[in-house]
Amino acid sequence: MKKRNIFIYIVLFLTIAALIISCAQKSDKSQKLEKVRIALPPYTGDLPFYVAIEKGYFKDQHLNVEIFQTRESSEALNALLAGRVDIVAPISFSALLASEIKSPGEFKLFLPGGESDKIVGSYLLIKKDSDIKDVQQLKGKKIGTYTGATQLLYLELFLKKVGLDPQKDVVIIQVAPELQAQALEANQFAALFTIEPYSTIALQKGIAKVLIENPRVKYLVNPFISGAAAVSTKFIRETPKTLKKVYKALSMSLDFIRNNESAAREILPKYTPLDVALAQKAGLIEWFKVDEPINFEAIQKISDLLYENKILSSRVEIKNMFLTKDQLE
């Protein structure tokens, strides 16, 4: 009788053990990491993605994130259009809109961000020892900015707003983004029209001082929402639940940035040209979640400016390009 009871106990034990192992295996399968390929340009505006990686928010959502670090926005966007990545961290609207016109419907936008009257992201700088005190003193002088048709347009529109003819009153010189500060220091131009983080680099190294703060907001569009993240429509269609997990991780990231800005800034040197000291001083844009007020009218004004000045070949309805709340949450 005792032997029979022992046998029953052994059978029960083995049955329970088998059930536990089976449940564990099912749990492992249910927790299988979902693959997401993300392109990361080296911009301070992509900080929510950097934080989500470094703080483990993507992993918390059981996402296996493959990072493709790129040198610039065009490289990241080309990777998205070619199907090599699923998502691109925030890049400029000029690049996004031009691609939308060329290949309509290939991607949707989310997580827009930019400057406002409270968030400074652009500057007109002059050399530290310059005696220029008013923008009108730039008449007859050279003004620098970084390469690209869009930045050239923004500078030309700004000059018109302050009463200077960009074709007659000044000479505009464009240089590679990383060369802006040293070009100003070398007197290649009298003033530099630039954005973060290049402005902070020039200011903190003692090369420059501010002539006009926030010119894009003050003279072009307020708020100046400059860009957004993009996700391929194929990824949206095939993995809608995974997209929601990506967005949840980024939402947690935004909360961390807003509540722990200094700690978030410590992550920037790993992904951008900023060193540790500059990372704490560089201006950060403001990002908007899908359930927060997004000024689509201001973004549309930027789009229309690009169209009216022939940077874009046709007009784009901005709001139609953005994901809705039910697609993200």
Same domain membership, residue 101 and residue 54:
yes
Residue 11 counted as domain residue: no
Q: pTM to 2 decimals?
A: 0.84
Same domain membership, residue 232 and residue 113:
yes
Total domains in the chain come to 2
Residue 185 counted as domain residue: yes
Same domain membership, residue 155 and residue 214:
yes
Residue where a domain terminates, one of 195, 219, 243: 219
Grouping H, G, I as helix, E, B as strand and the rest as coil, residue 13 is helix
Same domain membership, residue 233 and residue 96:
yes
Element (H, E) at 304: helix 296-308
Range of the domain at 174: 122-219
Which residues are within 8 A (CB) of 243 and not within 5 positions of it... i.e. 6 or more apart? 231, 235, 236, 327, 328
Q: Walk along the chain (329 residues) and give the pLDDT tens digit of each residue.
A: 555 556 555 545 555 655 555 555 544 444 578 999 999 999 999 999 999 999 999 999 999 999 999 988 889 999 999 999 999 999 999 999 999 999 999 999 999 999 999 999 999 999 999 999 999 999 999 999 999 888 999 999 999 999 999 999 999 999 998 899 999 999 999 999 999 889 999 999 999 999 999 999 999 999 999 999 999 999 999 999 999 999 999 999 999 999 999 999 999 999 998 999 999 999 999 999 999 999 999 999 999 999 999 989 999 999 999 999 999 99
- Sign of the torsion formed by the C-alpha atoms of 190, 191, 196 and 202: positive
Residue where a domain terminates, one of 188, 219, 250: 219
d(CA 261, CA 144): 31
Grouping H, G, I as helix, E, B as strand and the rest as coil, residue 36 is strand
Residue type, 76: A
Closest CA relative to residue 228, chosen from 307, 323, 122, 151:
323
Residue 26 counted as domain residue: no
Residue 47 counted as domain residue: yes
Residue 192 tokens, joined: 């530099």
Residue where a domain terminates, one of 219, 247, 277: 219
- CATH at 276: 3.40.190.10
d(CA 33, CA 18): 25
